[in-house]
């Protein structure tokens, strides 16, 4: 995670854009983060993930959680987030979403 003062952005913009392909760049003003510079690819991944989560939330609300409840009753939870066996999968998802 990299943070830089907002005042340094104009003279470093080209290099910051390049660096944002590797990691988010946090822009600070008065020691407070006011913006984040991310690559276009990362932005697209985040927007796709957000859209998927919004769709899931809508379906859960629309169906009153009936679908999820039925799947859990029939097959058990889709994934147990606390199960150490799922740690690798969760780490991969976090990496794909840029959370690590």
Query: CATH number of the domain that 7 lies in?
Result: 3.40.1620
26 membership: H or E segment, kind and range: strand 25-29
Domain match, 26 and 53 both: no
Residue 64, classed as helix, strand or coil, is: coil
- Domains: count for the chain: 2
Q: Over the stretch 6-21, which tens digit does the pLDDT of each residue have? A: 999 999 999 999 999 9
Q: What is the pLDDT of residue 13?
A: 95
Do 46 and 85 reside in the same domain of the chain? yes
- Cβ atoms of 24 and 42 within 8 Å: the answer is yes
Assigned token pair, 56: 């899931």
Find residue 27's DSSP bridge partners.
4, 35
Q: Does one domain contain both 27 and 62?
A: no
Q: Do the beta carbons of residue 4 and residue 12 sit within 8 Å?
A: yes
Model's pTM, two decimal places? 0.56
Host domain of residue 31: 1-38
Regarding whether 73 and 46 lie in a shared domain, the answer is: yes
């Amino acid at each position: 995670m990299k943070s830089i003062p907002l005042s340094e952005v104009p003279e470093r913009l080209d290099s910051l854009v390049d660096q944002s392909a590797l990691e988010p760049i946090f822009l600070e003003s008065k020691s407070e983060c006011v913006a984040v510079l991310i690559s276009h690819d990362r932005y697209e991944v985040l927007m796709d993930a957000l859209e998927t989560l919004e769709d899931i939330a809508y379906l859960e609300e629309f169906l009153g959680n009936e679908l999820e409840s039925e799947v859990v009753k029939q097959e058990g939870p889709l994934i147990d987030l606390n199960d150490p066996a799922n740690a690798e999968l969760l780490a991969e998802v976090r990496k794909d979403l840029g959370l690590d």
